[in-house]
């Protein structure tokens, strides 16, 4: 008969293994996540390379992505547009793939009405490319805020040795920013709603 201590230890080890497996993903997703994580602490200039519906939001603005916070299951990547530090991309391992969320804040740190939208991978993707079709929360948020055209959004991210790309596509809409990974720049200050640490 096993001692209660051994049973308890076995249970703890089993639960620990389960917890680790909850954030496991397939090799292509791990490689994608790790490639971005390897840039942690670095910042890079970007250029809008495709925008079939241009707005003043990005015109003549300095674009900087900053791989700011990284751990084994989550990456925080602020996307600075001029002096607008309202946007942070959050990539998370979920146990069934990868999630992308857009954390949008006001200057005082409070959440924007349109925030935490994004999507989840539906397949393994590639080590260099992952796609995130809009999830149900995002679709409901878009409809509630009178932008139903966005329910068809898919966000894509590409990571190659010399370039990182953020891309939004849906029927009739494409927006893409390419970041030059060969020339790191000074990291910007913390995005709105985050502390400097």
Residue 57 lies in a domain: yes
Residue 193 lies in a domain: no
In which domain, by residue range, is 112 found? Answer: 25-185
Residue 12 lies in a domain: no
Is this model's pTM higher than 0.95 or not? no
**Ordered alpha helix ranges (H), 38-181:** 136-144
Residue 194 lies in a domain: no
Residue 3 lies in a domain: no
Residue 132 lies in a domain: yes
Neighbour count for residue 112 (Cβ, 10 Å): 15
DSSP 3-state assignment of 121? coil
pLDDT for position 13? 35
Please give the tally of structural domains in the chain.
Answer: 1
CATH code for the domain of 47: 2.40.128
Distance CA 83, CA 76 (A): 19
pLDDT at position 191 over 50? yes
pLDDT for position 151? 97
> What tens digit of pLDDT does each residue of 122-133 get?
999 999 999 999
Q: Over the chain, what is the mean pLDDT?
A: 89
37's CB contacts (< 8 A; 6+ apart) are 67, 70, 75
20 Cα distance to chain centroid: 21
pLDDT for position 24? 53
> What tens digit of pLDDT does each residue of 155-177 get?
999 999 999 999 999 999 999 99
């Amino acid at each position: 008969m096993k001692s209660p201590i051994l049973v308890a230890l076995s249970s703890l080890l089993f639960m620990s293994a389960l917890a680790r497996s909850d954030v496991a993903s397939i090799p292509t997703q791990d490689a994608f996540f790790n490639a971005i994580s390897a840039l942690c602490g670095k910042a890079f200039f970007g250029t809008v390379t495709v925008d079939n519906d241009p707005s003043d939001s990005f015109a003549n603005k300095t674009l900087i992505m900053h791989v700011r916070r990284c751990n084994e299951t989550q990456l925080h990547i602020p996307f600075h547009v001029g002096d607008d530090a309202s946007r942070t991309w959050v990539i998370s391992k979920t146990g069934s793939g990868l999630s992308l969320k857009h954390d949008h804040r006001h200057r005082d740190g409070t959440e924007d009405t349109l925030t935490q939208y994004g999507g989840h991978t539906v397949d393994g993707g590639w080590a260099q490319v992952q796609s995130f079709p809009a999830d149900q929360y995002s679709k409901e948020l878009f409809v509630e805020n009178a932008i139903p055209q966005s329910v068809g959004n898919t966000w894509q991210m590409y990571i190659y040795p010399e370039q990182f790309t953020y891309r939004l596509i849906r029927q009739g809409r494409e927006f893409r920013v390419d970041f030059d990974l060969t020339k790191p720049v000074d990291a910007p200050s913390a995005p709105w709603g985050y502390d400097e640490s």
